[in-house]
Amino acid sequence: MERKGDRKVKYLTQEEVKDLFKAIINLDSTHAVRDLAIFRVAYRCGLRASEIGLIKLEDYNASKGAIYCKRLKGSYNNTIRLDVKTKNALDTYIHESKLSSNSEFLFKSQRGKPISRQTLDYMMKKYCSYANIYDKSKYHFHSIKHTTAVHLAESDMDIKELQWWLGHKSVTNTEIYFQFTTKQQEKMYSKLEAKSEMV
């Protein structure tokens, strides 16, 4: 497992992410459409819980399928293009939520305020439990950001590309995600095996 400073970086496997999304849909709660949009956007863009609450309707360009990410903790803001499933989830939520103005916060609580970090952590615990993700140390919304970073690193995105995607000012904050995961080790050994067959 990767370490960031003295803390272990907790992230979900790709199968666990799929199970998490399925849990949101299958639980069939009154907020399932909103919650699926939240988790898909957070995973696609690598957002912190506090950054999810900052998104306004005007930050989303529906025609381009891109969302402007306002990042905290000294990170750079950037615009991320959404994948088809995430765009569909977000478009469905916007259509059903009937937001009245572009300056309105996109994801709101029942009281109409920007959704809080505490609420997102509660949701993460609920859906992880329902998805039968057994490692409870992953039951924090911030593990979504780590999950995004590790999965992008595993997809052969280079360190500068990942640095931009996550909005990191310093590449040292990005390097931790290039520690060898099991998948990265398998790729390394397959390269060696291919090389040895040539000798």
Report CA dihedral (99, 101, 107, 108) to the nearest 10 degrees: -80
Query: Which range, of 75-89, 112-126, 177-191, averages the lowest pLDDT?
Result: 177-191
Residue 164 belongs to a domain: yes
Is 60 exceeded by the pLDDT of residue 2? Answer: no
What is the span of the domain harbouring residue 95?
10-196
Percent of all residues in the chain with a pLDDT value above 70, rounded to a whole number: 90
| CATH number reported for the structural domain that contains residue 79 in this entry | 1.10.443.10
Residues 26-42 pLDDT 10s: 987 789 999 999 999 99
* Per-residue pLDDT at 3: 45
pLDDT of 7 strictly over 60: no
Containing H/E element for 125?
A: helix 117-130
Tokens of 12: 């979900």
Does residue 1 sit within a domain?
A: no
- Residue 25 maps to a domain: yes
Q: Decide if 103 is inside a domain.
A: yes
Residue 5 lies in a domain: no
pLDDT mean across residues, the chain: 89
In-domain check, residue 60: yes
Q: Is residue 2 part of a domain?
A: no
Residue 191 lies in a domain: yes
Using one digit for the tens of pLDDT, what is the confidence trace for 98-126? 887 888 999 998 888 899 999 999 999 99
Give the total number of structural domains in the chain: 1
